Amino acid sequence: MRTLIKDIRDSEGKEIELFGWVSARRDHGKLVFIDLRDRSGSVQVVFPPNVEGAGLLRLEFVVRVVGLVKKRPASMANDKTPNGAYEVEAKSLEVLNPAEALPIPVDGDGYDIDEEVRIKHRYLDLRRERMKNNLIARHKVIKFIRDFFDERGFLEIETPILSKSTPEGARDYLVPARIAPGSFYALPQSPQQYKQLLMVAGIEKYFQIARCFRDEDTRGDRQPEFTQLDLEMSFVEREDVMALSEELLISIVKDLFPEKRIQAVPFPRLTYAEAMAKYGNDKPDLREDKNDQNLLAFCWIIDFPFFSAEGGSAFGGEKAKWTFTHNPFSAPKPEYMADLLAGKNIPDILTTQYDIALNGYEIGGGSIRNHQPEALKAVFKIMGFSEERIKANFGHMLKALSYGAPPHGGIAPGLDRLIMILQNEPNIREVIPFAKTGDGRDPMMGSPSEVEKKQLDELGIEIKKPKS
């Protein structure tokens, strides 16, 4: 029966069976030494002359070893590793799979290796200790989140990946529908509409570890596809959502990252106007010591303008074309509802939107929603949408809200950014198992890629060659 390497300390004097990868090899004449690694740890294995095949071992060979666990002499113990006081004296060796020379080393942190090469060989890159620890941290955070919300009566509900293209702030990834030539699904930029529809359905408390897709310019804290914690609650006000979010984040840090220190609890609050005036951005880095990697400075940004002028003049002359600053489903602060419905004093309307920033990154945003159809419709009218376009894009939402929708609100923290900061990584690609490059390519799979003409013909699609 297999023994995990992390458990060999409980097997001193016993014969055990180990499986793993050869991460180091040293030939000392008659004796061959290797460091054997599995996911749980590593240990030194000693091969006496009578064990066949040890001399042929090379880095990253996959092997099975049967041997006796011994305590190393005190003078030879390695106190820098968990199993440094033990070694395994091999009795038999089986090579389960040899390995060719690796295109990248996997024994260091990998920061010095070209990132595209690392992503191309991600299945090897993930063997390194740092990357493994990032995946373990990601798993623990997601499990903690699931337990946290389950204990508070939330239901985890999956929402569709194939949806409808609606204007939500970024470009959609479109999926042609073979069964309806000329029509398209869209991959969701977020589960925003679905989670609101779940509130209409009477679910009251929803969450999801959601995959989101946005066709936008990439940067260190963005990817074409990413993961967020998505949640929504009925019969709540802004303070309820912010308090629950703050409780969750404090608990994650306290339970999973005890080496970290939160600079201020409760989290400080700044209005959008204050943040812009003092820091010049709406995600300020409030750390008192920016050299301290274990210092976490959370803060809330509130009282955002609902609309911004997309073109023309916002204050007279040519009529401005307005767009939402976050998403069109947010409700205004109650004192601005009359102005929203009347379509007046548009630059002054403030929304119930709340963002949370951490060490200079926006890690989440949410709002109380417009649960009355006339209020949501007023948003689109201010944006210049015709009645026909409102009905075509959002008729399903307006209809749903007309059937007794409860007041509701939520938030969607980005898990990739949060884990990136907690793991002291420079970008989110380091904490995403199979990441894209900075320009949205996957060199490992070779995507995006061309497809066969037969597939395009089935979809009724013809590719236009770019003009020279």
Same domain for 143 and 89, yes or no, is: no
Same domain for 206 and 239, yes or no, is: yes
Same domain for 147 and 201, yes or no, is: yes
Same domain for 299 and 169, yes or no, is: yes
Residues 16-74: tens digit of each pLDDT: 999 999 999 999 888 999 999 999 999 999 999 999 999 999 999 999 999 999 998 88
Same domain for 82 and 217, yes or no, is: no
- Determine the Cα–Cα distance for residues 412 and 1; give it in Å rounded to an integer: 44
Same domain for 217 and 360, yes or no, is: yes
Same domain for 90 and 205, yes or no, is: no
pTM for the predicted model, two decimal places: 0.93
pLDDT score recorded for residue 327 = 85
Same domain for 279 and 207, yes or no, is: yes
Question: Does 386 reside within a domain?
Answer: no
Contacts 24+ apart (CB under 8 A), 378-386: 378/340, 378/341, 378/343, 379/306, 379/324, 379/328, 379/340, 380/328, 381/343, 382/307, 382/322, 382/340, 382/343, 382/346, 383/307, 383/321, 383/322, 383/323, 383/324, 383/328, 384/321, 384/322
Last residue of a domain, one of 43, 66, 97: 97
pLDDT score recorded for residue 425 = 97
Question: Does 312 reside within a domain?
Answer: no
CATH at residue 278:
3.30.930.10
Query: Is residue 233 very low, low, confident or very high in pLDDT (cuts 50, 70, 90)?
Result: very high
Question: Does 269 reside within a domain?
Answer: yes
Question: Does 401 reside within a domain?
Answer: no
Same domain for 73 and 167, yes or no, is: no
Query: Is residue 321 very low, low, confident or very high in pLDDT (cuts 50, 70, 90)?
Result: confident
pLDDT score recorded for residue 363 = 97
Last residue of a domain, one of 39, 62, 97: 97
Counted domains in the chain: 2
Residues 411-425: tens digit of each pLDDT: 999 999 999 999 999
Question: Does 35 reside within a domain?
Answer: yes
Share of the chain above pLDDT 90, in %: 85
Same domain for 294 and 156, yes or no, is: yes
46 lies in which domain range? 5-97
Question: What are the C-alpha distances in Å from 373 to residues 237, 249, 399?
Answer: 19, 33, 8
Same domain for 131 and 75, yes or no, is: no
Same domain for 86 and 140, yes or no, is: no
CATH at residue 21:
2.40.50.140
Question: Does 417 reside within a domain?
Answer: yes
Question: Does 318 reside within a domain?
Answer: no
pLDDT score recorded for residue 319 = 54
- Determine the Cα–Cα distance for residues 168 and 83; give it in Å rounded to an integer: 53
Query: Residue range 332-359: average pLDDT?
Result: 96
Judge whether residue 232 has pLDDT over 90. Answer: yes
Question: Does 316 reside within a domain?
Answer: no
